[in-house]
Amino acid sequence: MPNLEQYLEQGSVVSFLQRAGMAPQSIQHHRAFASNWGWDDGTSAYVTLWMHDIHDPHGIPKWSQSDPSLRDDLAGQRGSRAAELYSILVRYSGRPVRVILQKRKADRSKWRSGLSQARGLDPVAWYPLVEGDTVLLQRGSLPGRRDVSVDGQPMPSRPPSFALRETRPEQGKFRQRVAAKTGNRCALSGAPQEVCDAAHFPWADWRTDNQAHHGVLLRRDLHAALDCGLIEIDRLGRIIVSEYLASMSDDYRALHGREVPVGKS
């Protein structure tokens, strides 16, 4: 597990850009330049990330930003800097990017002298990937493929689940039945039923198949992953996790090969 704070020290943004190998002719020694969120010297990209904005910093660190032109919470300089950062990451999609980490001062009364308490250059490259109108930036590697499992096999193909768009009249009774199979806990994570859904197995028809052996209780994020094909369950109850989901978190990766109770077929 990475400890990103170990890379924090004292130093200016420019000094870390120099250390990262930015072309000297692209570096400018004034505050406006150092206040940018991203830089492109024509061959490499460099960005600065606040530690509190990084998701899963102790697992597989990642950061994301939606298209600033679609957001109404960014204006003025913040909007311009966000737009330039987004543009840089789109251009460098799939290529390594150097990241300067920043930790914000906890005492807001000291923000007038600058927000940053410490900075550091991450020695590991991060990789951007465009997903619709969002850029995902992940440390160490690109996210895996959506249509390939952790084993390198094609993910089973099926239409999107009706759970995404239709009401299920028998859902209440179905939920009680499947919850009872696993002690009112998620069959994979052990999460309490309050944060779980009753999920139909991929081969079951929600209109007619609403007995206990037609589904399983899953934490809501796992149910959503099942519905959109990032996780599959075969007829033996074996869990198949896509490369993409596994690359998001080691917790998801650990689910691959696990089994849930299926019951009679």
pLDDT of the chain along its 265 residues, tens only?
A: 578 999 999 999 999 999 999 999 999 999 899 999 999 999 999 999 999 999 887 788 999 999 999 888 888 999 999 999 999 999 999 999 999 999 998 888 888 878 889 999 999 999 999 988 899 999 999 888 888 999 889 988 766 554 444 556 667 889 999 999 899 999 999 999 999 999 999 988 878 888 999 999 999 999 999 999 999 999 999 999 999 999 988 899 999 999 999 876 4
Per the listing, tokens 């930015």 go with 22
* Cβ atoms of residues 258 and 188 within 8 Å: yes
Residue partners of 29: CB distance under 8 A and separation at least 6: 14
- Residue with tokens 């899953």, as numbered in its chain: 218
Write down the H helix ranges in 158-200: 171-181
pTM over 0.85: no
34 within 8 A of 13, measured Cβ to Cβ: yes
Gap between the Cα atoms of 16 and 80, Å rounded: 22
Contact by Cβ (8 Å): 156, 202: yes
